[in-house]
Structure 1
Amino acid sequence: MAEPQRFFFYGTLMACSEHPLARRLHRLLRSLGPGYLPGRLVALPDRKGWYPALTDGEGRVAGEVYVPRRGSLTPHELAALDRYEGCLRNARLRSDYWRATLGARLVARVGLQGADLRPRLAVQAYVWSGVLPRAAVPIEDGDFAAWLARTGARAYAGG
């Protein structure tokens, strides 16, 4: 089965990011809007700033859904994303993150009966692959950008 050509970013690859790869990436993508995935989010420290990790768990993780401006990303472009995320496509156990197909929902107005009426979209997202370090900080509301603003922490700026 082919991987979907929709992507869910929840951290340093979102359009609001100042990271050079994010800026290059968003010339290739357009946003479908804010969305969320089921899961739990933690912040991980690095000497070059903080970055988020999506893990299994209760809750919602906030982010944005993107599609390529042209048909699809090339294998070279996908490989650049995987390298940035530490995703070794043939070695999941040695990867920091794993690119997985998950179900995301775009943020919608609440319907008449209080239900979210938007369908679940198949997206590719990077999920934390290993054991979380002790220094991981839970982000209870699942929103990395809001966590950065609340705490004054600096987003990862490395390469």
Structure 2
Amino acid sequence: MPTKSPLSIAFAVNAEGWPDGLEAVAERAIREALKQSEAPVTGVAEVSVVLTDDAEQRELNSQWRGIDKSTNVLSFPQIEPLGPVEGLVGDITLALGTVQNEANDMGITLEAHFTHLVVHGFLHLLGYDHIEDEDAEEMEGLETEILASLGIADPYADD
């Protein structure tokens, strides 16, 4: 009898234009980030990933961060920072136009940039941040390791 995964991932597509197949990409990225972060999964847990457009993302960014513009990824954690992973872990939202434009500007595929942003957003759900330089180095280092294991080049190599 198959065992239930301790982490389920729910997807919602709130905007047209997102390519097919990104749900599997996001799931792989989240599972690898969870594995490499070594966050303790202490019970059944759920993450939601919402694929939206710039208008909805702008609304969310304005409402929750007080910044009246779209952004590539937002994370809404529901667990204690760097604590046990169980219950509703949180939500990750991504804005199609912004993600596409950034990928084009960087000369990388939408899938590669999307993967990076999902990993980045999920690490925020776990409690990682990049406000202080030391924390940014830790988070970016972990992102780079996770992405390398997924076959994605270091997004911070040119910084």
Which TM bucket (shorter chain)? under 0.3
Higher normalized strand content (fraction of residues): 1
TM-score (norm 1): 0.28
Structure with the bigger RCO (C-alpha within 8 Å, sep 6+) is 1
Higher normalized helix content (fraction of residues): 2
